[in-house]
Amino acid sequence: MSSVPQATSLRRAPVQRRSAERLTRILDACADLLDEVGYDGLSTRAVAERAGVPIGSVYRFFGNKRQMADALAQRNLERYSERVTERLKGARQGDWRAAMDAVLDEYLAMKHTAPGFSLVDFGNQIPVGARHAEPNHRVADRLTELLSAHLVREPDDDLRRIFLIAVETADTLVQLAFRVDPEGDPKVIAEIRELLRAYLARVLD
């Protein structure tokens, strides 16, 4: 995938293909280093060296490592959205259970496979932005956009509130699952799925 973060997270959006490829290398290097050294050990210089680009190329896009981590979080959200959308192509329209499974399963898959995701995911462990841009609000807004057509519902404030409650709940409990077991405790995850089903059945059926 070649998802590019939204221009608002960048000092300058890439225009040419070469510039976009350089940005991809920078974010890939950022993700790898997050897994290796954590956020505190991350530096723009180390990212530049790992990506094989001049330090000026990093500063062309980012003023500091916080902005770089936020751009990685936004790229994660773009890729997550693509995965959920692809997963739902074969699902019956209006089936909120299939939508819920796609949302949870694809998140768990990225926890296991996406570099840097266990620390940054959609930004919830990196303090960036104003309150309205908090990561779970970001995710809930994106899910409202993605799933309203599938659920045959208007993308209104009620649906956005439903998704925000579900996202906040799942986020807290998934963190618990990975504290109990570094691979994600399957019993806790099963309970998360049942809890979400019970809540969504009450508000979506």
Low-confidence ranges of the chain (pLDDT < 70): 1-15, 124-133
Which pLDDT value is given to residue 3?
56
Q: What is the pLDDT of residues 27-84, one digit of tens each?
A: 999 999 999 999 999 999 999 999 999 999 999 999 899 989 989 999 999 999 999 9
Which pLDDT value is given to residue 16?
72
Chain-centre distance for alpha carbon 116: 11
Query: How is the chain split into domains, by residue range?
Result: 7-204
What's the pTM? Answer: 0.86
Torsion of CA 122, 22, 4, 58, to 10 degrees: 50
Cβ atoms of residues 44 and 97 within 8 Å: no
Which pLDDT value is given to residue 20?
86
Nearest to 29 by CA among 6, 7, 58, 67: 58
CATH number of 7-204, picked from 3.30.590.20, 3.40.605.10, 2.60.40.10, 1.10.357.10: 1.10.357.10
* Contacts (Cβ under 8 Å, ≥6 apart) of 133: none
Cβ atoms of residues 203 and 192 within 8 Å: no
